[in-house]
A and B are shown apart, each in its own frame.
Chain A
Amino acid sequence: MSATSTAIPAAKPKPKVRIGDRVFTSTTITAGAVILAVLAAVALFLVVQSLPALFAKPGELPNNADNFWQYVWPLVFGTVWSAFLALLIATPLSVGIALFISHYAPRRIAQLLGYVIDLLAAIPSVVYGLWGIATLSVFVQPFFAWLTDNLGWFPLFAPPVSGTGRTVLTASMVLAVMVIPIMTAICREVFLQTPRLNEEAALALGATRWEMVRLSVLPFARSGIISAIMLGLGRALGETLAIAMVLSPAFIVKFAVLQAQSPNTIAANIALQFPEATGVSVNALVASGLVLFAVTLVVNMIARAVINRKPSGASS
């Protein structure tokens, strides 16, 4: 098979340079460099297109904002707030699901259950949006009404309740359903990689199943869980259509989660406004997209730093 394996003199340890190797190496390096170039281009073009909005005079920007930061602040708040709520719901659930699939379910059906959860990840976001409007918001509205009636003193549940159920909390529930499969898939992979001997040693010492999980699986999987949360947060921050369809948006900053007027998110705002935007409004939208890009970048980097700082057995 190897036509090139000619006799190489033993006295010459220098590797022979082959044309094929040269070509192949440079092609793969080019492909890698293209990725870097694309990312640089993303940042560069977004900056170029958003400059007019950053230096816009009062009166030019939408929503009567005096400057760009006043325009983007409610959107940033809405983005982070809805993503935070979604993760609050999704994190315990997905760790539980992953544990169930990896350590609790009968071995025979565990793989099938894993597929089912993976299929949840494959459903497009626009379909989640449809479901959020048509089914979920109708279903949860009575519960929201009950919450505001009985727990209205709690700032998050302050009345008046939304009549349609299309609130931040509903949107966050949809977001949570969307990020659960991603987080579950990663957690499950990491849980399954726990060294079998550690688990068996814990069981042999008389640990119950939960003690085995707590002693051997969870410490091993800590960095994996963090990276799962990171990926879920990234998806929740950037999720567009589900929010755009479910929320009834407004340019406000407030924590109450059950009211009709909800803080919009950056991504949903772009999707809703872009088709009709002209002039500086387009630049403002691009600039808000740049802010979103920066926020997700920071989230990713922080999470990565956390993972790298505390190397557990899972980090390969």
Chain B
Amino acid sequence: MTTQATTATAPPPAPGRARPTANSLTAGRLPRAVPWLLLCGCWIATGVVYGILDASGATKGFDPVGTIFFGTVLFVVALALISRIVEGGRRAVDRLVTSLVLTAFIIALLPLVSLVWTVIARGLARFDVPFFSESMRNIIGDGGGALHAIVGTLLITLTAAVISVPIGLLASVYLVEYGRGALARAITFFVDVMTGIPSIVAGLFTYALFALVFGPAVRNGFMGAIALSVLMIPVVVRSSEEILRLVPNELREASYALGVPKWCTILKIVLPTSIAGLVTGVMLAIARVIGETAPLLIVTGFTFSMNYDITGGRMMTLPVFVYTQYTQAAGVSAQASVDRAWTAALVLILIVMALNLLGRLIAKIFAPKYGR
């Protein structure tokens, strides 16, 4: 594809019309370095403009963001124009799209970098031992920690996983191995629908369910686990279904040919073959629900004390801790509260990242080797 050897010597044909046939294979090409040089040139040019504006007093101080932004815009336009003159319309469009696609990617990276930077910079202020060893009981002002929230998050998420992994896994086995008729179609359809359930609606559902039985003031960790299960089951079903469908049919047929019953084939052939993918799917599902805030805010309430009993009363969780510490920060010790919120956010991100990386690592190490 990349034929740049002749481009340096061949003169651009456009000005002199040296070649009558504008063949795209032989038409002139821009040397490889041109885009990069042009980019730097555009940045410098806009920088100079901003510098002059700054020197003349039209703006307050030099504006690096504006320089980069307008420099990049100028670069995209200029490169397309130059390419159109030298290389023709089709390649100009190609270059334009390439730079647009790259710009889109960089724009998407900016929030990530900014977010990670902000959370780390502000979260490190309270990333200390008391944060992981104390609760917020009797804490006014500085100090205190999020141990009660961490314990609550782990208990609730674990319970949610215990509820939803068997259901999700078995349902996906049904869909892949047995599902043929209307029931399978209904399950597939409604799992799709469930994937779209807003998390707060799952919380409301759990509240409505328990409020009918226990009265309107009921709040406990188990309700949170139910709400998270509603969100987690469709994720588990979808990912497991995808993984189970990857198991080659030849394996199943070989097993049947040996006279192995179907349930035995599934347990001994299909599931072991896909175990790595299944574990990864479960890990990613856990990572998906562990950061859910809205349903927990509604159904588990919040507390400042330790609570190890998942069915007994209000329970703090890490996301809700972040929310309450930030929104209820007031008075002289507002900064301490905000600091705790940022540190809790950092801890939450670390937990989620660890789950994600672990899941992907398992998939990578134990995955069976398929083609492509």
Contact = CB atoms under 8 A, between A and B. Distances in A.
A294 to B, nearest CB: 10
Interface in B222-236: 230, 233-234
Contacts of A120: 108, 111-112
Contacts of B109: 116
Interface string B81-110: 000000000110110011011111101110
Contacts of A128: 115
Contacts of B330: none
B201 A126 contact: no
B297 interface: yes
A206 B91 CA distance: 11
A197 interface: no
Interface residues of B, number: 101
A92 B109 CA distance: 15
Contact of A31 (B174, B195, B207): B174
Given A124-B319, A130-B322, A245 B327 contact: yes
Nearest to A193: B372
B322 to A, nearest CB: 5
B179 interface: yes
Given A35-B191, A104-B98, A274-B298, A122 B356 contact: yes
B197 A296 contact: yes
A218 to B, nearest CB: 11
Contacts of B200: 238, 240, 267, 270-271, 289, 292
Nearest to A124: B291
Given A46-B204, A122-B352, A238-B198, A245 B326 contact: yes
B186 A271 contact: no
Contacts of B287: 122
Nearest to A297: B193
A124 B198 contact: no
Contact of B197 (A23, A96, A238): A238
B230 A42 contact: yes
A25 B173 CA distance: 9
B108 A115 contact: no
Nearest to B287: A122
Residue from B122, B197, B205, B349 with most neighbouring chain A CB atoms (10 Å): B205
Interface stretch (A151-159, A163-171, A207-215, A247-255): A207-215
Interface string A127-142: 1111101111000000
A267 B198 contact: yes
Contacts of B173: 28, 31
A294 B223 CA distance: 23
B61 to A, nearest CB: 12
Contacts of B308: none
Nearest to B348: A124
A177 B111 contact: yes
B53 interface: no
A299 B198 CA distance: 12
Contact of A203 (B1, B101, B234): B1
A65 interface: no
Query: Which of A18, A245, A271, A285 is the most central at the interface, judged by chain B CB atoms within 10 Å of its CB?
Result: A271
B20 interface: no
B8 to A, nearest CB: 21
A194 to B, nearest CB: 12
A20 to B, nearest CB: 4
B325 to A, nearest CB: 10
A290 B94 CA distance: 47
A286 interface: yes
B261 interface: yes
A96 B187 contact: no
5 contacts: A29-B183, A36-B186, A39-B194, A42-B201, A95-B104
Given A2-B259, A127-B345, 11 more contacts: A5-B260, A31-B169, A31-B170, A31-B171, A36-B190, A118-B356, A119-B112, A122-B352, A127-B115, A131-B115, A135-B115
